[in-house]
Structures are given as structure tokens and as C-alpha cells.
Structure 1
Amino acid sequence: MTTVTEIAPDLFRLSRFVPELNMQFNHFLVRDEQPLLFHAGLKKMFPPLLEAVKTLIDPTSLRYVAWSHFESDECGGLNDWLRIAPNAEPVCTLVGKLVSVDDFAIRPAKGMTPDDVLETGKYRYRFYPSPHIPHGWDAGVLFEETTQTLFCSDLFHHFGDVAPITTDSLIEPTQAGMQLLSQGPLAGYMPYTSQTEGVLQGLAQLKPQTLAVMHGSSFQGNAEAMLLDLASVIQKNFDGA
């Protein structure tokens, strides 16, 4: 079952829980003049996600499909969305466009830098590059300036069939989740580099009020301190791994 929850004005969390992994896969639909979907999802999740989107908008009206980095749960279903929505455009970092997406997608991507602004009607977005945070050279995070929402992908990854949104700190569940992911063949899930702390400090300066989290509860409140604390969590678990 796909659980649909409005976690901020016009922002809907479409969540599918996989018991075998004890993990939620969350996708975010922005209902606006030009609708935007963040996380295209896995190919096999496309049919149920499509049905969930139909409860919110006409899926053929989808205008943008965005994600953080090139990975199957982020953009595996991209071409399925592009086929049903004739005006939909892939949106990612400029690096993502150049190194992966324009070869993979059936339409060229809109590769964004922080100087570029994407407007969907009421809302304004910028893509901030965050190489290797959470994964990949092409990684980035999308920030909506009107409501101060940060679409942060695998940052704050935690496990369980948890509440759609919380006002409690995500640091403790994230630390527990990263400890699990630092063991065995999954070790090195999220690297810590000389750039990590600086990138997270830059995101904290945006002062996001909503964190749209891919795996686990989203967060509402002042997220600045959590982003600053996240660097030490990543470093501790990566060093341990």
C-alpha cells in the first residue's frame, strides 16, 4: 500500500514500506501549476506510485521529475513517468545531466546549478550540488525557497515503518541507521570527506523548516542544528566502517 500524507502545503509524501528491508521508500509530489515529483522511484514501484499520484493530480500533467543522484530508487522509474507525461522534464544537477541522465532518459535533462531557479507557480527551487553527500559525484539537494523545504534524499536515512512527519530530532534514529549500514558488505554507505562538513554547513545556512526524507520520517521545525550535527554522525560511522 502507498501511504499519501500532506506534510506541508501542496507537498505530499508518497510512501511505500518494504518489510523485508524494514525501510520506507518515500517520494514527494508538489501540487502546483507545474507539478513536480521528487524521486521517480524503482521501476517495480511505478504502477502503485502512479495510482497514488492519480489521487492528487492528473499524472499526464506532471511537468518535472527530480532526484538527488543516479541510483535506481531515485530515478529507476524515470522513463515510465516521461512516457505518460509528454511535457515532463528530468531535473538534476548539471553533473548528473552530463555524466548519466542524458544517456539514460528518453528526453534531455534540465541540469541545474545553484544560480538557476526553477519555478512551478507558487514555488521556487534551487539545486545545490553535494558531491558524495549522500552518494555519487552527481549528488545534489533540492531546496524550495518559499516554504524552506529541503529535499534531502538519503540524508537522515533511518529504518522502520515510522510516522510520515515528526518534530523530534532525526539525529538519534539516523545514527542508529548508519550503524547498521556500516557493517558487512554495506560498509561505506555514506562517505566522509574533507568537503562533508562544509557542504552540510552550507545547507544549514539555508535554515530549512521541512526536511523531505527519502527513508524514514520527514521533519518539520528548525533543521539548522541537525544538519550541523549530521557531519559528526557521518564521520563516526564511516571511520568505524
Structure 2
Amino acid sequence: MADSSTEARVTEVADGIYQLHTPVGTGKAGFSFNQYLLVDDAPLLFHTGSRRLFPSVRAAIARVMPVERLRYVAFSHCESDECGAMNELLDAAPQAVPVCGRIAAMVDADMFDRAPRALEEGEVLELGERRVRWLDAPHLPHGWECGYLFEESTATLLCGDLFTQPGADHPALTRDDILAPSEAMRRSMDYYAHGRDAPQLLEKLAATSPRMVACMHGRAYEGDGAALLRELARALARTA
């Protein structure tokens, strides 16, 4: 896991959406961790980073806006890089609350110092000028409580561990293929649950027609996100 002294790079990848990117290691051992900060009347951070990353994540947020302005800290599913620094962020932002799906609110809430805002499938959270919609995605790629947020004005899908790419030295955003490197990583260390509903869930995500697929590990993808998600569904079917 990254050392707390690692500095996060901050890049605006869409209007008012900032990627906080922390590289870890080099070469074949390299990896990266991203969080996404949505700036609005009620700012939202998607994923916290691990507790050890908290100092650099906090410093990265502060380069965009005061950390105290955060109102929502959302996460896809319960792992250390998704929500490990939740309580540190809640302490730094007194008005902030965790945001997650109904299942996560049921099974993970006792971990957090404030009760989470639990979102139903398809429920919209108003941030001000922008809206984010919760999409349940159990076991995709893993975690019973897994789900994603779709930001409507920029058509950005905050896609958690989907399309995880190895390596540490990544640009923030690309139009190049991210499926091939992410599939190579999946084949080498299969972290997918291979749930029976994966094809239907991927089609549900594709139906949002995302113009940006905001990955938590590696580059975010700008382009035809629906086609990318459907190609992932075909790749999973070939290896089922």
C-alpha cells in the first residue's frame, strides 16, 4: 500500500470533476489509486483512499477547495482503498456523510462515525447544478454491496474496480484501449466474482451511455463508454 508521504496528482477530467491520482511502485509492480472529487454546492468525493493515503488525499482536495466543504463521501463497496479513510475524512469535514447503496448501509455502517446516506437503485442525489444516480451492481466485479454513481451532466460513470489497469505511470484520461490491459490483469489475478447477473448489470451500466468511464485504478476513459462496457461483457462471457 502507498506510503502516506506520496503526493497525489490532481487533474480536472471533466467540468468540475477532479481525479486525485496516486502512483505506487514502479515497473511491473506499479499500481495506482484514484479518487474523484465532484465540486458543486454540496461537493462529493468518490472513494477515500486507504488510511495511509489520507494525508495526500486531503492535501489534493485542498488544492481544489477547502476540505471542510465536503458534504458527501461515497464508495462502491467495502475495501480499504474505497472507504478506509472514511472516518478521517468525516473528522476533517464536519458536515459530510458517507454515501453508499442499501446493502452497504446495512452491513458496513458500524465502521463509520456517522450514519450513511443509503441510496436505492436508481435514486438521484442532488449536489447543486449536478446530479448523481446510484446503480446497484452486486458482485460486479466483487462485493455483495457493490454499486456505482453516474453523474448526469457530464455522463461520467464512476465505475470503481471495473477496468482496473496495472502500472503506476498513467495519464489521467485516454481515448486509447483500456480493456486489453485490464483484461490482462484480470486473467493474471482473477478478482471478479463472476456473478450470474454480470451480463445484465453491464448492460444496465451501458444503457447510461457514459462519455467518461472514471476508473479507480489507471486511466479514465473518454469515448463510447457503452461500447466499452458491452465489450467487457463479451470478454467475461468468453472466459466464464
Same fold flag (TM > 0.5): yes
Instruction: Name the TM-score, length of structure 2 as normaliser.
Output: 0.93
Output the amino acid matched with 2:60. A
- Partner residue, 2:226: 224
Contact preservation (8 Å) 2:141, 2:194: no
Distance apart, 1:234 and its partner CA: 3.2
Deviations 1:154-182 (A, max 9, x none): 00001112211001232111111212213
Distance apart, 1:2 and its partner CA: 1.1
Instruction: Name the TM-score, length of structure 1 as normaliser.
Output: 0.92
Determine if the alignment matches structure 1 residue 151 to structure 2 residue 158.
yes
Q: CA separation in 2, counterparts of 1:90 and 1:233?
A: 33
Among candidates 62, 67, 70, match of residue 62 of structure 1: 70
Distance apart, 1:202 and its partner CA: 0.8
Distance apart, 1:116 and its partner CA: 2.0
Q: CA separation in 1, counterparts of 2:103 and 2:233?
A: 23
**Over aligned residue pairs, what C-alpha RMSD do you find?**
1.2
1:137-176 aligned within 5 A = 137-160=144-167, 161-176=169-184
- Partner residue, 1:11: 17
Structure 1 runs (4+) deviating above 3 angstroms are 234-237
Output the amino acid matched with 2:140. I
Among candidates 77, 83, 86, match of residue 85 of structure 2: 77
Output the amino acid matched with 1:218. A
Contact preservation (8 Å) 2:174, 2:221: yes
Unmatched tracts of structure 1, length 5 or more: 183-188
Contact preservation (8 Å) 1:212, 1:218: yes
Output the amino acid matched with 2:216. M
- Partner residue, 1:107: 114
Q: CA separation in 2, counterparts of 1:149 and 1:78?
A: 23
Q: CA separation in 1, counterparts of 2:172 and 2:237?
A: 27
SS in structure 2 at match of 1:81: helix
Determine if the alignment matches structure 1 residue 199 to structure 2 residue 181.
no
Contact preservation (8 Å) 2:122, 2:135: no
For the structure 1 residues 29 and 11, does the alpha-carbon distance in structure 2 shift closer, same or farther, using more than 3 Å as the test?
A: same
